[in-house]
A and B are shown apart, each in its own frame.
Chain A
Amino acid sequence: MTYIELQTTTNFSFLRGASHPEELVTKAHEYGYKEIAITDRNTFAGIVRAHGAAKELNMRILPGCRLDLLDGPSLLAYPTDKNAWSRLSALLTTGNLRAEKGQCHLYRSDVYTHSAGMKFILVPPAALTPGFELDEAFRNAAAEYREAIGPNLYVAASRSYLGDDTKRLHRLSQLAGRLDMPLVATNDVHYHTPDRRQLQDILTCIREKCTIQTAGFRLYENAERHLKPTREMLRLFRQYPDAIRHTKEIAEACVFSLDMLKYVYPEELTTEGRTPQEELIKLTWEGAKGHFGDTIPPKIEATIEHELTFIEQMNYASYFLTVHDLVRYARSQNILCQGRGSAANSTVCFCLGITSVNPAKFDLLFERFLSSARNEPPDIDVDFEHERREEVIQYVYRKYGRDRAAIVATVTQERRKGAIRDVGKAMGLSVDTIERLLHSSWRSDAELYDEQRLKEQGLNPKDKHLIKVLELTTQLMGFPRQLGQHTGGFVITQGKLTELCPILNARMEDRTCIEWNKDDIDILGFLKIDVLALGMLTCIRKAFVLAKQHYGLDLTLANIPQDDPAVYEMVSHADTIGVFQIESRAQQAMLPRLRPKTFYDLVIEVAIVRPGPIQGDMVHPYLRRRDGLEPVEFPSEELRNILGKTLGVPLFQEQAMQVAIVAAGFTPSEADALRRSMATFKAQGQVTKFQEKLINGMVAKGYTREYAHRIFKQLEGFGSYGFPESHAVSFALLVYVSSWLKCYYPDVFACALLNSLPMGFYQPAQIVIDAQKHGVEVLPVDVNYSGWDHLLEPRDSGSVGTSQSPADFSVSPQPLAESSNSSRAPTASATGANPYRPLRLGFRQVGGFKEEDARLLVAGRDALDRDGSPGIIGSPGSGPCPAAYTSIPQLRDAGVSQPALERLADADAFRSLGLDRRRALWEVSALGDRPIAMFEGQPAESAYEPSVALPDMTASQHVVQDYASTSLSLKAHPVSFVREKLDLLRILRTGDLAGRHDGDFVKVAGLVLVRQQPGTASGVVFITIEDETSTANLVVFHDIFMAYRKVILQSRLLMVEGQLQIEGEVVHVIVKHCHNLSPLLRDLVTPASRDFH
Chain B
Amino acid sequence: MTPGSYVALWFPHLKTCWFRLRRPALRDKPFVLAISDHGRKLIAAADPKAEAQGIFAGATVADARAIIPGIEVLDDISGLSDKLLSALAEWCIRFTPVAAVDAPDGLLLDTTGCSHLWGGDQPYLQAILTRLQARGYDVRGAMAGTIGAAWALARFGRQAVIDDPAHQRDELLRLPPAALRLEAATLDKLQKLGLVTIGHFSHMARSALRRRFGPQLLRRLDQAFGHEEEFLQPLQPVGQYEERLPCLEPIATATGISIALQRLLETLTKRLQKEGKGIREAQLKAYRLDGKVEQQKIATNRPSDNAPHLFKLFELKIEAIEPDLGIELFTLEATKLEDLSPVQEQLWAGDQGLEARPIAELLDQITGRFGSGCIRRYLPDEHHPPERSIKPAQDLNEKPAIPWRTDRPRPTILLPQPVPILVTAPVPDYPPLLFRHQGKVHQIKKADGPERIECEWWLREGPHRDYYCVEDQDGARYWLFRSGHYTGDQTKQWFLHGYFP
Interface residues of A (CB under 8 A from B): 127-128, 130, 161-164, 166-167, 197-198, 201, 212-217, 219, 221-224, 427, 431-432, 435, 465, 468, 902, 906, 917-918, 921-922, 925-926, 928-929, 941-942, 945-946, 948, 950-953, 961, 1045-1046, 1049-1050, 1087-1090
Contact = CB atoms under 8 A, between A and B. Distances in A.
A950 B464 contact: no
Given A163-B451, A219-B384, A925 B41 contact: no
B336 interface: no
Contacts of A925: 189, 193, 211-213
A590 to B, nearest CB: 30
B65 to A, nearest CB: 10
A1083 to B, nearest CB: 15
B384 A1087 contact: no
B409 A921 contact: no
A163 B450 contact: yes
Contact of A953 (B68, B194, B204, B383): B194
Given A217-B382, A217-B384, A945-B205, A162 B451 contact: yes
Given A921-B192, A942-B208, A130 B406 contact: yes
Contacts of A1088: 176, 191, 196
Contacts, number: 124
Interface stretch (B157-165, B281-289, B452-460): B452-460
A289 to B, nearest CB: 58
12 contacts: A128-B407, A161-B450, A163-B408, A163-B450, A163-B469, A166-B448, A468-B457, A928-B211, A941-B207, A945-B211, A1046-B54, A1049-B67
B192 A222 contact: no
A14 to B, nearest CB: 21
B458 A468 contact: yes
A198 B454 CA distance: 11
B212 A216 contact: no
Contact of B382 (A162, A216, A917): A216
Nearest to A1076: B54
Nearest to A1090: B191
Interface string B65-76: 011110000010
B449 interface: yes
B193 A922 contact: yes
B36 interface: yes
Interface string B438-466: 00000000001111111001100000101
Given A163-B449, A929-B211, A945-B205, A222 B36 contact: no
A467 to B, nearest CB: 12
B407 A431 contact: no
Nearest to A224: B452
Contact of B54 (A212, A221, A1050): A1050
Of A925, A946, A1088, most B-chain CB atoms within 10 Å: A925
Interface residues of B, number: 48
A1045 B211 contact: no
B452 A948 contact: no
A932 to B, nearest CB: 14
B74 to A, nearest CB: 10
A1050 B52 CA distance: 13
B208 A221 contact: no
Contact of A942 (B69, B193, B211): B211
A1067 to B, nearest CB: 28
B182 to A, nearest CB: 14
Nearest to B41: A435
Contacts of A161: 450-452, 466
B212 A922 contact: yes
Give 6 nearest A-B pairs by CB, closest first: A216-B382, A163-B451, A161-B452, A925-B212, A951-B194, A221-B384
Contacts of B451: 161-164, 221
Contacts of A201: 457
Interface in B193-213: 193-196, 200, 204-205, 207-208, 211-213
B95 interface: no
Contacts of B296: none
Contacts of B450: 161, 163
Contacts of B458: 212-213, 427, 465, 468
B54 A921 contact: no
Nearest to B469: A163
Of B192, B208, B402, B464, most A-chain CB atoms within 10 Å: B192
Nearest to B407: A127
Given A163-B408, A917-B192, A1049-B66, 18 more contacts: A127-B408, A128-B407, A163-B450, A216-B381, A216-B402, A217-B382, A222-B452, A468-B458, A925-B189, A946-B205, A950-B194, A951-B195, A951-B196, A952-B194, A1046-B53, A1050-B67, A1088-B196, A1089-B191
Contacts of B457: 197-198, 201, 468
Given A166-B448, A197-B454, A216-B382, A948 B208 contact: yes
Contacts of B195: 950-951
Contacts of B454: 197, 221-223
Contacts of A213: 458
B225 interface: no
Contacts of B10: none
A434 to B, nearest CB: 9
Contacts of B200: 951
Contacts of B68: 1046
B467 interface: yes
Given A161-B451, A219-B384, A221-B384, A431 B36 contact: yes
A1046 B452 contact: no
Contacts of A941: 207, 211
Contact of B464 (A217, A222, A942): A222
A946 B452 CA distance: 88
B67 A906 contact: no
Contacts of B383: 216
Contact of A1045 (B36, B67, B464): B67
A1087 to B, nearest CB: 6
Nearest to A428: B458
Nearest to A201: B457
A164 to B, nearest CB: 7
Given A468-B458, A1087-B196, A945 B208 contact: yes
A108 to B, nearest CB: 26
A946 B211 CA distance: 13
A828 to B, nearest CB: 42
A360 B212 CA distance: 70
Nearest to B34: A432
Nearest to A1050: B54
Contact of B189 (A130, A219, A921, A928): A921
A946 B213 CA distance: 17
A938 to B, nearest CB: 16
A928 B210 CA distance: 10
Contacts of B205: 945-946, 948
Nearest to A1085: B191
A514 B457 CA distance: 39
Nearest to B187: A1090
Interface in B400-425: 402, 406-409
Nearest to B188: A1090
A219 B457 CA distance: 12
Contact of B407 (A130, A1050, A1090): A130
A132 to B, nearest CB: 10
